[in-house]
Structure 1
Amino acid sequence: MLIQSAAFNGSRVILRQVSPESETIYDLILSVYSSSKGDWAKLASDVSVSKENLDHFLAYAAQFLGNLGNYKGFGDSKFIPRCPKDTIIALASGDEKAKALSEKCVDAIYEAKPGLMHLGFPEEGHMTNYYPDSPDISQSEIEEIDRFTGEKGLLPENTRIKKLKDGNFEILIASGITNPPPQQIDTKDHSWTLPNGRKVSLVFGDHQEELAKAAIHMKLAAKHAANDTEKAMLAEYAKSYSTGSLLAFKESQKLWVDNVGPAVETNIGFIETYRDPAGVRAEWEGLVAIVNKEQTRKFKRLVDAAPEALPKLPWGKNFEKDEFQPPDFTSLEVLSFPSSGIPVGINIPNYDDIRQTHGFKNVSLANILSAKAPSEPIPFIAPADLALYTANRDTAFEIQVGLHELLGHGSGKLLQETSPGNFNFDRASPPISPITNKPVETWYKPGETWSSVFGAVSSSYEECRAECVAMSLACDFDIAKIFGLDTTPRDGSDDAMDSPAGDVLYASYLSMARAGVASLEFFSPEAGKWGQAHMQARFSILKAFLGAGDGFCVLETTPNPNPSGAGAGFDDITIKLDKAKILTHGKKAVDAYLRKLHTYKSTADVVAGKKLYEEMTAPEPRGYWIEGVRPCVLRRKVARKVFVMGSTRLNEGKGKEEGDGEVELVEYEASVEGMIRSWAERGI
């Protein structure tokens, strides 16, 4: 309960990271709920709002709470209510607090300037609140500050940057106190002067109230820790939230890795950098989950097989870690996960120095992976493949997530000059690049990291590399056996592709191709940018499939019968993928792409890496992808799920001290009303 409270206390942090209006919209939704006392129909009747417009408002409110902001957590594009502005004004009219909140934010809710429909850099007219009240801050200024302060030892994940009217800058550090003790601050200095003469100052206390509460809850939780490692981990969390020290947070992550096989798994803080346009600042998230022991046993077998699987990847030993450190890999049932969107799997910590020398953990979120709406449509799959695909997609996805997290994100070595004159490879006889067949000429210099070198593209690039690892190793039938699949060919055949395991592999490749087609929903032609890292990656893998040749993968398109309509595009798209050519053509194409992705990452070859990735993720020719495929995708898109999370509460009178007594799980109906009620009753 205490850990869950710490996680949810960061919800307002997420809202503030999205847009200036998000926190006000959140308060408005909860105030309207409070004034209605949960009787939405009566409220609508009292203020003369139609049932249709009430339903539209409730749907908007549920989507807002599911994404913790008015921009999609998966896609980074703004969503606007289908009900008119007057509906929100009317629903808020019966309560003074709600009325004041609606007046403050209703115009922003409906603002639809093209640039503000997407998250991105302010100088491009896009929305971000990682740089609050700084409309004229430029991308080059952000990069200069990050580069300069990075050299001073300041980590960026829990920061925001504010440009002042005099041209100087403040770095806002998330912390529960505004004046941490000097020995608990990550840098020796509080301010610096940039080479151009402008000043950069540290300001502690961003999100002060929320971080202070999270720190208190972690301190209380430490009293109930299962072991000394867990107790130390929770203490480091509390220290980080209180002081803003990311060095303390890194210590918590090392201890988290060391805390093997806990019954309750948690990781809370500033974790993923997907939504910062600069790709370095992280969004708050808070995983609290219970271990699924049966599924975890399967993943344990995959971990055990990793040393034999890694050499099968398409690069030499010089580009792989010197020693594979077996991680803890668990299957979890999520209790709560306040964030802008819940993933199906996680591989963390994201700090490469910890991953390379200390290790990492993988988790698969079983109840998220298996969640499906009744009669959910499946566009773009051929009718002849639909039964096989439906029967095998869950197993295929389970294997894909496992390989993606463990051997995708968990593989690879960064060639580094770890300190001046010291290298983690033989500098006198450098490794031979599998791309050029010549000694490597680039590597990471002291203080450089993967994300600092590759910048905004790093998140999507790494997701693509991990997905390619999964697609490559899914072709290994020894791995299929780990997951209990039968690799025996049917009907006297000697081809393993004719086995149940072959069906799962086929479903896996179909699933990736379908995701690549559907990904175009997340590309904005107006902004010329992708809004979601994973979908950008999957589009590029689809292009690799299509480029495999010999008819391995083809998109069959049906012309639109009304081609003159605006944005008509194709009427339908069907994926035709040759099952018999997965091992000969599909895997070969994936391996060729993966070899380049991995080598460029390993050697810090940002020029070649960015060039490759930009070419592979460009939806060109535009007439085909943007004017033909994308309109069809938008017409046939399936609504993304939002998850109603339970709450925990202490039964009254059961304990004198907070944290003692019987804890009760409170669950809510899987509906828009249940979603709103769940957040209202948390009182965050």
Structure 2
Amino acid sequence: MQKSLTCAGLTALLAMSISSCTTKEPGQFDYIVDNFADIQVLRYKVPEFDSLSLQQKQLVYHLTEAALSGRDILWDQNGKYNLAIRDLLEQVYKNYDGAKDNADYLAFETYLKQIWFANGIHHHYSMDKFQPKFSREFLETEVAKLPKENLPKTDLLVLYDVIFNPETMPKKVNQSEGQDLILTSASNIYEGVTQPEVEAYYASMKDTTVTNPVSYGLNTKKIKVDGKVVEQPYKIGGLYTEAIERIVSHLKAASEFAENSEQKAHIEKLIEYYTTGSLKNFDEYSILWVKDTDSQVDFINGFIESYDDPLGMTGSWESIVNFKNRPASRRTETISAEAQWFENNSPVDSRFKKETVKGVTAKVITAAILAGDAYPATPIGINLPNANWIRATHGSKSVTLENITQAYDEASHGSGFNEEFVIDKETSDLLDKYLFITDNLHTDLHECLGHGSGKLLPGVDPDALKAYGSTLEEARADLFALYYLADPKLIELGLLDSPDAYKAEYYKYILNGLMTQLMRIEPGKDVEEAHMRNRKLIAEWCFQKGGDEKVIELVKRDGKTYVRINDYPRLRELFGELLAEVQRIKSEGDYEAGRKLVETYGVRVDPEVHAEVLKRYEHLNIAPYKGFVNPVYELVKDSDGNVTDVTVRYDEDYVPQMLRYSKDYSSLPR
């Protein structure tokens, strides 16, 4: 299965300072909203919203309401006690009347902000359970003050154990080799079943001779009934029906403002899918959605990416509403128009190339709302649908969220990152000059072409790589983008103006993969998140394979380690060699080779380098993770109740937004 909703390259450059840009000129847009734990919360602009027609604005409004209405679904998917814990802690927060400078209270507030950000009690990236720094006695005392009607129905002793016992549900998604990944994962998409039982269940269902297989398990929870594995579908009348009914009501309202018949058709097909739960309906919706290339307003809404399933099958609920940035889209349109050239000239074996690349469309978009698994932390690029056969037969859509990358960039100035980690001024100047454009181009190539490149051989199961599928798919798309960033074709197309520009992205990527992304890992832990494994795999493989030639060196200077790239052209060749092998693994479904590649290069952490990276980051005060608050949309009506406009404002802060969302968009029973 393709896993394509991704922060291609380094998610929002790690070189973003918490303390920088906190002073602003009068009237200047304030990007930074809040800082806590390892997180910085930003806000983003929605430029050109006012240029949309009233019809388009109302379409955006109802699609945003549909997006926000699914919030509780993701919380419940992430853990069976998440909603009860969120309700309990929010009640304590709203009713607290003690000293606000109390150490327990301050730690409690930070913990609540963390679980809001992660949509549950496990870190959104490391998957480890948050360990509260306030006492159990503090929480019990404050809960005892609450009216009984404000308490969750779940046994409080169970909730206290889940919150405070580090041995209870310690990992949302476990990817450790040799363990039962279902039994050791806390995500609420399996219950009472084991990994072998689930794998055997789907193996018995799949027919590898079928050319258009559905995405098995995408919208279901797997449980055991009378000793057998049974799927419970997410649909109206099934699991999450209360939230899905609200989503559908807003989708119906949105369909009345559709820009054209094609858009109306795929909205109505999405409603049908939510009503029936049929994965065949989902494929039909995906095909209609891919074919709608004329609408300016667009959206995703549903169970899409499967990173939070230890087996890589069940989709987490998410939604993004957006509209096309027409001037900026010229870049992605230029790339997608040359899709066949890129496929033909790829360094992979010809057996694994597509003879005809179909329906690749790409655009730069302005995000209007982020929701579900895309909120508060969000991707900067999207490539969908994930089904290989739909991509091969009908094509795919790729987008770059440029108002999100712009917000990251505006908040990133003056962090001191380059001074601390970049080897010399020449390289630092190269990054300053070319990194923003090459990073965006990396995202464009990753999403527009990388995920859509190559093909599976006949009879290969799309899920053959199992738990390693996500990492290898991201590696494949990243390698495709890295390889072509250095190609003269990009200069020929007018996308870059210097043959040296690509070196900025190469240096940042290797530095991140070998060193700086380790700031996100706790001492003693392995790398588990798919995107981080992907980047480490690529950087470590190239470092080791190019070792005798000293393509990449780790240089010691004044007790600090620096990355030096001595041979950029040879590094490009290494990217091409690894791309060829990863594509072979995917095309042939070579599980053992894929497992060995990931476990050898993408998992283990050098403790000395790790300790050094953490120490060097301490004085930079840089948040490893960033996310967003959403703008607020409001209908403007005349005295007769007719909508005359839709306005957007940016004055809602993090805590008020989270509390409002819990008040206005909670729908599931606890």
TM-score (norm 2): 0.79
The match for 1:574 is 562
Q: Distance between the aligned counterparts of 1:279 and 1:337, measured in 2?
A: 23
Aligned equivalent of 1:380, options 410, 414, 421? 421
The match for 1:140 is 196
Measure how far apart 1:577 and its partner are. Answer: 1.9
Q: Superposed, which structure 2 residues align to 1:108-187 within 5 Å?
A: 108-113=162-167, 116-120=170-174, 121=180, 125-132=184-191, 134=192, 137-151=193-207, 155-164=216-225, 166-177=226-237
Q: Is the 8 Å Cα contact of residues 59 and 672 (structure 1) preserved in structure 2?
A: no
Q: Superposed, which structure 2 residues align to 1:89-488 within 5 Å?
A: 89=140, 95-96=146-147, 100-101=151-152, 103=156, 105-113=159-167, 116-120=170-174, 121=180, 125-132=184-191, 134=192, 137-151=193-207, 155-164=216-225, 166-177=226-237, 205-340=238-373, 341-372=377-408, 373-374=411-412, 375-378=414-417, 380-384=421-425, 385-417=427-459, 444=460, 448=461, 450=462, 452-480=463-491, 482=493, 484-487=495-498
Q: Distance between the aligned counterparts of 1:90 and 1:514, measured in 2?
A: 48
Give the aligned residue type for 1:518.
T
The match for 1:605 is 590
Q: Is the 8 Å Cα contact of residues 331 and 364 (structure 1) preserved in structure 2?
A: yes
Q: Superposed, which structure 2 residues align to 1:38-117 within 5 Å?
A: 43=96, 46-50=97-101, 53-89=104-140, 95-96=146-147, 100-101=151-152, 103=156, 105-113=159-167, 116-117=170-171
Q: Distance between the aligned counterparts of 1:608 and 1:531, measured in 2?
A: 18
Residue 610 (structure 2) pairs with residue 630 (structure 1): yes
Q: Distance between the aligned counterparts of 1:81 and 1:392, measured in 2?
A: 42
Q: Is the 8 Å Cα contact of residues 398 and 447 (structure 2) preserved in structure 1?
A: yes
Q: Is the 8 Å Cα contact of residues 359 and 394 (structure 2) preserved in structure 1?
A: no
Measure how far apart 1:98 and its partner are. Answer: 8.6
Q: Secondary structure at the match of 1:612?
A: helix
The match for 1:552 is 551
Q: Distance between the aligned counterparts of 1:122 and 1:613, measured in 2?
A: 16
Q: Distance between the aligned counterparts of 1:655 and 1:596, measured in 2?
A: 65
Q: Is the 8 Å Cα contact of residues 69 and 665 (structure 2) preserved in structure 1?
A: no
Q: Is the 8 Å Cα contact of residues 163 and 170 (structure 1) preserved in structure 2?
A: yes
Aligned equivalent of 1:22, options 58, 67, 82? 82
Q: Superposed, which structure 2 residues align to 1:478-517 within 5 Å?
A: 478-480=489-491, 482=493, 484-487=495-498, 496=499, 502=500, 504-516=501-513, 517=515
1:295–1:55 distance in 2 versus 1, CA, 3 Å:
farther
Q: Is the 8 Å Cα contact of residues 522 and 532 (structure 1) preserved in structure 2?
A: no
Measure how far apart 1:546 and its partner are. Answer: 0.9
Q: Distance between the aligned counterparts of 2:407 and 2:85, measured in 1?
A: 28
Q: Distance between the aligned counterparts of 2:659 and 2:294, measured in 1?
A: 33
Give the aligned residue type for 2:258.
A
Q: How many aligned positions are there?
A: 576
1:146–1:632 distance in 2 versus 1, CA, 3 Å:
farther
Measure how far apart 1:356 and its partner are. Answer: 0.6
TM-score (norm 1): 0.78
Q: Distance between the aligned counterparts of 1:96 and 1:648, measured in 2?
A: 34
Measure how far apart 1:238 and its partner are. Answer: 0.6
Measure how far apart 1:656 and its partner are. Answer: 5.9
Q: Is the 8 Å Cα contact of residues 423 and 562 (structure 2) preserved in structure 1?
A: yes
1:654–1:462 distance in 2 versus 1, CA, 3 Å:
farther
More off after superposition, 404-413 vs 383-392: 383-392
Post-superposition CA distance 1:385-443 (Å, at most 9, x none): 334323432212101101111221011021214xxxxxxxxxxxxxxxxxxxxxxxxxx
Measure how far apart 1:677 and its partner are. Answer: 4.7
1:98–1:527 distance in 2 versus 1, CA, 3 Å:
farther
Structure with the greater alpha carbon radius of gyration: 1
Give the aligned residue type for 2:405.
L
Q: Secondary structure at the match of 1:643?
A: strand
Which segments of 5 or more consecutive residues in structure 2 lack a partner in the other structure? 1-60, 175-179, 208-212
1:91–1:367 distance in 2 versus 1, CA, 3 Å:
farther
Q: Secondary structure at the match of 2:75?
A: helix
1:153–1:382 distance in 2 versus 1, CA, 3 Å:
closer
Q: Is the 8 Å Cα contact of residues 304 and 316 (structure 2) preserved in structure 1?
A: yes
Percent identity, aligned pairs only?
24
Measure how far apart 1:326 and its partner are. Answer: 4.1
Q: Secondary structure at the match of 1:338?
A: strand
The match for 1:664 is 647
Give the aligned residue type for 2:249.
I
Q: Secondary structure at the match of 1:325?
A: coil
Q: Secondary structure at the match of 2:372?
A: coil
The match for 1:3 is 63
CA RMSD, 1 decimal:
2.9
Give the aligned residue type for 2:509.
M
